[in-house]
Amino acid sequence: MAQPSGIHARRAALKMLDAVLRRGETLEQAAPGALRDVRKAPDQALAKAIVGEALRWLTDLDALIDSATKNPLPDDAKPRSVLRLMLAQSLRLETPPHAVIATGLPLLAGGPRRLAHGVFSTLMKREVTLPEAPTLPERFQERWDGMAHGLVQPPEVDLHLKDEGQTDQWQAKLGGESFASGHVRMPRGTPIEQVEGYDEGAWWVQDLAAQLPTRLLGDGAGKHALDLCAAPGGKTMALSASGWKVTALDISKRRLGVLKDNLKRTGLKASPLRADALTWEPKHQFDAILLDAPCTATGTCRRHPDVLHRIGPRQIAEMVEIQRALIEKAAGWLKSGGTLIYAVCSLEPEEGEEQADWINDTFGLTPAPIQGVELPASLEPTPEGWLRTHPGMLREKGGLDGFFVGRWTKSVR
């Protein structure tokens, strides 16, 4: 029997949802396999949009499903997953109900199609809607004011300009908005590789929050920085563009390959180095070390909503251990008078604020509080002099990733 058009995209969305919720994979890990049979780029984009909406609104979609079933479907039941995708299309992507049904029910071939049809139809008849903002895991909801509102839509696209001095020109050329020198924000869904300046490497994509850690090191004037967890190189490029001589170290061959491609496209210079920072020994100390540490990445939930459901205490504790081991190395490789930046794209205080306290207590480094003037307008450092961002910030301008950044110097002896 001929399959309705669009079924491949929905099947791929179901595979991705399953990989995230049942196997704890990231969407990035799940996508290549799930999308293998989806040839056309618009269908691939559709599959990603459906699963993205389902993950962002999961708690609310589940509440709707539960409101229309006598006995709650198990969390990992296939009909629940199919219904999540069907409702995400109907309530978020404005797909007409007949198209949702025609492409959704075949996913349950040989299974409880009537049940899914019944639940979906009941909810459509009730004209159900979603809340103003998604319901998030409690720890986020309680901690980060307005965060849920930052997740209503997928984020816009931030560009980091190679030449900060040309911010006005690029903003005028590209038609975006700029919130800091060297930054331009473009509308969500902008086809990046077709935007002026991509081929010539005049900018790279980097969320505004992720642009901040390197700014806090200032101008390099030829001094030597170690970018300790460097790939795919967003911060390496920023350091190089600010005049630092950069050693860009990363353990991942694949990600380091992307870093090299990025350097090639932008024409910026750095020395890529594949090594495990936990066993590597440098030949000299550094004027600055940027430790953009591996983390749970919950701060990137606007773009990677899988983190809302994959990350719990076990993953956080694992990351805390790795981060501490890396911090210890970095602290030992800093010259007297040198500067350490510790950054994580995490919303978990254990990986951010608590790590900063631990650094203060452990290494005899001097905190170098971040000043308001170093940050884009409308962002302020915390009273302790850290930088903390989350998706509820700059909400009226399109939001921000979650980041924690701290800065220390090593006293001159």
Ligand X SMILES: C[S@@+](CC[C@H](N)C(=O)[O-])C[C@H]1O[C@@H](n2cnc3c(N)ncnc32)[C@H](O)[C@@H]1O
The strand pairing partners of 339, in sequence order, are 288, 409
Interface with ligand X: number of residues (CB under 6 A)? 17
- Could you tell me whether strands 366-367 and 286-292 are parallel, antiparallel, or unpaired per DSSP bridges? unpaired
Residues ≥6 apart with Cβ < 8 Å to 48: 13, 16, 27, 31
Nearer to ligand X, 94 or 276 (CB): 276
Nearer to ligand X, 144 or 403 (CB): 403
**In contact, 51 and 303? CB cutoff 8 Å:** no
Q: Is residue 122 part of the contact set for ligand X (CB under 6 A)?
A: no
Question: Could you give the CA distance from residue 389 to residue 373 in angstroms, rounded to a whole number?
Answer: 16
Nearer to ligand X, 221 or 278 (CB): 278
Q: Is residue 207 part of the contact set for ligand X (CB under 6 A)?
A: no
User: What is the nearest approach in angstroms of ligand X to the Cβ of residue 216?
Assistant: 14
| Cis? peptide before 369, omega within 30° of 0 | no
Q: Is residue 233 part of the contact set for ligand X (CB under 6 A)?
A: yes
Q: Catalytic annotation on 345?
A: yes
Sign of the dihedral through C-alpha 127, 132, 138, 140: positive
Stretch binding ligand X (CB under 6 A), from 95-103, 142-150, 177-185, 229-237:
229-237
Q: Is residue 232 part of the contact set for ligand X (CB under 6 A)?
A: yes
Stretch binding ligand X (CB under 6 A), from 40-48, 149-157, 175-183, 251-259:
251-259
To the question of whether residue 234 is assigned a binding role by annotation, the answer is yes
**In contact, 161 and 182? CB cutoff 8 Å:** yes
Stretch binding ligand X (CB under 6 A), from 13-21, 43-51, 101-109, 245-253:
245-253
Among 117, 139, 173, 255, binds ligand X (CB under 6 A): 255
Question: Could you give the CA distance from residue 36 to residue 86 in angstroms, rounded to a whole number?
Answer: 21
- The H or E element that residue 340 is part of is strand 334-344
Q: Is residue 252 part of the contact set for ligand X (CB under 6 A)?
A: yes
Residues ≥6 apart with Cβ < 8 Å to 165: 181
The residue from 54, 326, 345, 375 that is catalytic is 345
User: What is the nearest approach in angstroms of ligand X to the Cβ of residue 326?
Assistant: 7
User: What is the nearest approach in angstroms of ligand X to the Cβ of residue 202?
Assistant: 18
Binding mask 259-298 for ligand X (x = CB under 6 A): -----------------xxx-------------x-x----
User: What is the nearest approach in angstroms of ligand X to the Cβ of residue 253?
Assistant: 9
Q: Exposed, middle or buried: residue 172 (CB in 10 Å: 0-12, 13-18, 19+)?
A: exposed
Stretch binding ligand X (CB under 6 A), from 50-58, 90-98, 226-234, 366-374:
226-234
Structure tokens at 221: 């004037």
81 alpha-carbon distance from chain centroid: 24
Crossing angle of helices 113-125 and 78-92, in 10° steps, is 30
Q: Is residue 160 part of the contact set for ligand X (CB under 6 A)?
A: no
Report which residue type is found at 49. A
Nearer to ligand X, 132 or 276 (CB): 276
Residues ≥6 apart with Cβ < 8 Å to 17: 51, 54, 55, 81, 84, 85
Q: Is residue 351 part of the contact set for ligand X (CB under 6 A)?
A: no
Closest residue to ligand X in the complex (CB): 229
To the question of whether residue 325 is assigned a binding role by annotation, the answer is no
**In contact, 346 and 299? CB cutoff 8 Å:** yes
Point out the annotated binding site for S-adenosyl-L-methionine: 229-235, 250, 276, 292
Active-site residue numbers? Answer: 345
Binding site for ligand X (CB under 6 A): 229-235, 249-252, 255, 276-278, 292, 294
Point out the annotated binding site: 229-235, 250, 276, 292
